[in-house]
Chain A
Amino acid sequence: MAQAAEIGAPPARQWRQSTVFLYLRSLFALAIIWSLIALWVGNHVILPQPTSVAYELFRLVISGEMLVHAAVSLWRLVLSYALAALIGIPLGLLMGLWPWASDLLDPVVEILRPISGIAWIPLALFIFGVGNELPIFIITYVALFPFLLNTMAGVRTTDRTLIRAARTMGVDQRTIIRHVMIPSALPQILTGARIAGGAAWMSLVAAELIGAPSGLGFAIEWYRQLLMTPKVIAVIVVISLLGYLTDRLLRWLQRRLTPWSTGIGAGR
């Protein structure tokens, strides 16, 4: 994060060390390689030039079409992500704190977990049909496990000495759960939240490709059928950007909620 340039360095040097510059430089290099490959392929449908993708992206944004798709997708994403957190975190706490809950639920979790969310899409098509329900179901399913497993692991790995310290101050079990075990698990819960965020974006696109009448995934499939490859790639670019921004947001949240965990390990 803060690799802030040395004090007194000239502005040009500061700029060359800034994150924005480093990102732009890499993306520019990528665009040149892409352009060369596109020249070599020579087929606009298979691989268009980056400039025509940029042009189509611009047009989709100006016309408002991109905004509509992105808004629909984001709405589904936020709703399912919240659902996954609301189910996954309490279940993870339950399983982390009480062995009987873990004995009961762990086999179910371990059997369901390896099944990719995508595997449920055909079945979900029968159940929900094409609409909002299918992507919401798939995303919730996929985002649930990172929340659950990380919460559980976080609670279980609470430093025993911290619990002992609290007990020698005479506090009861409820306080220990509320003020020792949950805060101690918070950094890992937030790590789970970031993994869930990435997984949610991936499954969102997969679910919308097949099972939704709108959204970014739908737009990709729509323009593919029309052989409008530049627009397909333009939508992909937007997905990438939004996914990246989601992760930045979650990382910011992580720093805000757990300011101590930057120095953890050295801590205690």
Chain B
Amino acid sequence: MATSPTSPASDAGDIKAVPVRHYGRWLFALIVLVFVASLLSSAIRNDNFKWDVVGDYLFADRVLRGLWLTIWLSTVAVVLGIALGTLLAVMRLSDNPVLRWVSLAYIWFFRGTPVYVQLLGWSFIGALYSTISFGVPFGGPVLVSANGNDLITPITAAILGLGLNLAAYQAEIVRAGLLSVDEGQVESAKALGMTGAQSMRRIVLPQAMRVIIPPTGNQAIDMLKTSSLVATIGVADLLYSVQLIYAQNYQQVPLLVAACIWYLLMTSILSIGQYYLERHYAAGNVRELPPTPLQRARARAASVRFGGPGNPG
């Protein structure tokens, strides 16, 4: 647009537009910047943070192994939580009273007890049930049977503890999303001959996503950090790994800083993912989507290269 010689901007050469000057805005920006800069420099120049030690351990083998465990454990727990949570939400809104009540009871229990206790509970499951079998209940034939302690390893306990707890919260998020979709949409879908499942999958869920994604992103980010609770059941995630290291060398602060750098990096990546996912599901809702930061940067680069609006190349 800017490069087109017929664009209105180039015709308006004789009008000199001066943006309104916000002196107050500039002043406050300056004050805040000075404050932030002094805070940063105090951290960077403070020798007690031992930045060289942070650097040494940031890519240490044990830290990276812990990081990897945190990543995949959180991923599995989030996937489990979202899948089960969605199922629970659909059950909760179902016409079938049994499904409704089971879902309600599940949410009541798993939201009502601390996730820490749930983790411990899963790790003790071997003590509660020495064998775990699947089969026809109440004395019917057993199909699969395993020793409780073999089946529920600390990792399995961690996945179950985190995932099942997340599912309870996720169920409420999905339910809110489903309820946010206009009832007329279900009507329309039915009138066109969709079955209940079809209208849920093709019409309701895609529209509910707009409401579901932001809090779900929150949950995923939260899970990255909540997963550090698995230290209590002896699973060596990122945090537990650095704890093991500083238990030996007493460098608590730099090691915790190193862990936080990794947590921040992971949550940043998740936030970016969430941003693009939100855009994807916003289709049809915003008349024209605003450009992404990347598109904006590209447009700016292009306008610099070809000359700005008042200066057609």
- The answer to whether A and B belong to the same complex is no
Q: Which residues of B contact A (CB under 8 A)?
A: none
